[in-house]
Each structure stands twice: as structure tokens, then as C-alpha cells.
Amino acid sequence: MAGWIPLILSAFGLALLCVEFWATRLNRKTFHGLPRRTWLIYAICTCVAGVLLAYGSLYPEYHPRPGLRYLGVPFMTGALQFKRGRWIDYPGILALPALLGNALAAFLLPQIFVAGARRVYRK
């Protein structure tokens, strides 16, 4: 089961990125007709929250079993395995794209909340 976790999280990450891009486009259309000050507040708040989340995305890890750690959520950037009293790292060939994907997914996450809040606020 531990081998499937990165694949499941990667599929979730790709779906999340698609939803985030959709929410970003929706927010741009929604805020385009509003006054400049409102649009600027939206942009600053989502950027600050996105940068903080992107910074936090550098540190998540999960432990599918004792002696094994996967680094990076939703895209796996590497693995650590405990052997002979030491942690041995196994970075993947796609570690840098996965790291950038994690940061992008975290940076765009506030867009989903803004889009959802705008829909609730309109009703």
C-alpha cells in the first residue's frame, strides 16, 4: 500500500492544480469589474497567504511505515529510508519539478477559498 500513496497524492495534486487554475480565472473575471482598491486588496491578501503556504509546503512529510518517510505533499520530492542506523535519502529525478508543483499548489490554494467565499457571499 505504501507504494501507491505517492501516485494517489500526485493524481490529487494534478486535480487540485486544475481546480486552482479555474478558481484563479473565475476570481480575475469577478474582480475585474470591481473598483481598483478592492482588486488590489484581493491580490495582496491572496499573494501573502499564497507565499506563506508555499513556504510551508517545503516541509511536509508522511510515514507510510516505520523506517520510511516520503517528502513532499501532494507531489513526492524524495524518500528517506532508515538502514543500518542512518537515514538514507533517495531524491527522485523529478524532485525539482515536484517541489515547484508543491509550491504552486500551495500558492494558488487561497484562490479556491476566495472563489468559494464569493459564491456564498452572492447568495
CA distance 96 to 102: 10
Torsion sign across C-alpha atoms 73, 44, 115, 49 = positive
- pTM for the predicted model, two decimal places: 0.85
Reduced to 3 states, what is the DSSP secondary structure of residue 94?
coil
pLDDT tens digit string along 16-43? 999 999 999 999 888 888 888 988 888 8
Q: What per-residue confidence (pLDDT) applies to 123?
A: 61
Q: In this structure, how many other beta carbons lie within 10 angstroms of the beta carbon of residue 57?
A: 22
CB-CB contact of 77 with 92 (8 Å): yes
> Cell numbers at residue 80, please?
528517506
CA distance 116 to 20: 11
pLDDT tens digit string along 85-95? 999 998 878 88
CB-CB contact of 17 with 104 (8 Å): yes
DSSP state of 64: E
